[in-house]
A and B are shown apart, each in its own frame.
Chain A
Amino acid sequence: MENITNAITLVPLNHYILLSSIIFFIGIIGVLTRRNAIVIFMSIELMLNAVNLLLTAFSAYRGDAAGQVFVFFIMAVAAAEVAVGLAIIVMIYRNTNSIDIDLLDKLKN
């Protein structure tokens, strides 16, 4: 325990911010460039995890436990979102036999 506590004092906060922003923008690029709806969902999970890492780092830096509680709530919301979203994707696949999001322009007309 003591070793772990000493270990954190060596990494600057900026590096945590840089790491989580890189992962966040990889997630954004995934959402923008892929057409498979499930891979787009996974990219959204990447973005949520980047935010979780940032919240945890700030929480440890400030000594405030509220940030880690927020991470718990983000995980709960992400789990609910995945459950409903995957059900919607399965329904789309049943109706169109594809999960290509470019086919989903029915709201246009």
Chain B
Amino acid sequence: MTITQSLFYFLAFVAIFSSLLVVLVKNPVHSVLYLILTFFTLTGEYILLNAQFVGIVNIIVYAGAIMVLFLFVIMLLNLNVETEPQKTNLLKFVGVITGGVGLAVLTAALKSTDPSNTVVLQNADMGLVKNLGQVLFKEFLLPFEIVSILFLSAMVGAVLLARKEPKQ
């Protein structure tokens, strides 16, 4: 096993471990911190796939912006372990069984396929910003512009929701 291969399996192990902890820990703040760790390991996987644009955007958007928003809301609401609502054991059991059965079905379907080839990059610098930008602004120009409208409406919606209602 080469060092890069072992790097993939190490990152995969840390990603699975920390995403399990996101679900398992009681404190929401710890949950957010483990989620950030998961995002960093996934960024490592993107770098291994030579998808540098996706990796950098993952750090900036997810670990930078979205997680700060989560932490800010959790601090604002002053949540901690005491206020953490708990489900009954039956519901937890049912949820774990449902997820486990789904994973088993997907793994079985994956096993019945032919053993896959290794990932070979046909175009080594495909994931660089220059190439992706050309694809984005040539083939996906209309979706890109529609995303800006989506952002505008999301911003207006968030401001409208968070505004205090005037007293009648």
Contact = CB atoms under 8 A, between A and B. Distances in A.
Q: Do A and B bind each other?
A: yes
Interface of A: 1, 3-19, 21-23, 25-30, 32-36, 38-39, 41-43, 45-46, 49, 52-53, 56-57, 59-63, 65-66, 68-69, 71-73, 75-84, 86-91, 93, 98-100, 102
Most B Cβ at <10 Å: residue of A14, A22, A52, A65: A65
Contact of A7 (B35, B48, B65, B70): B48
Q: Which of A17, A43, A59, A72 has the most CB of B within 10 A?
A: A72
B77 A93 contact: yes
B158 A36 contact: no
Interface residues of B, number: 90
Contacts, number: 269
Given A8-B49, A30-B22, A84-B154, A19 B12 contact: yes
A71 B95 CA distance: 28
B23 A34 contact: yes
A100 B85 CA distance: 6
Contacts of A84: 154, 157-158, 161
Contact of B119 (A8, A28, A30): A8
B110 A21 contact: yes
A65 B96 CA distance: 36
A57 B28 contact: no
Interface in B108-137: 110, 113, 115-127, 131-132, 135-136
Given A29-B95, A52-B58, A46 B19 contact: yes
B139 to A, nearest CB: 7
B12 A15 contact: yes
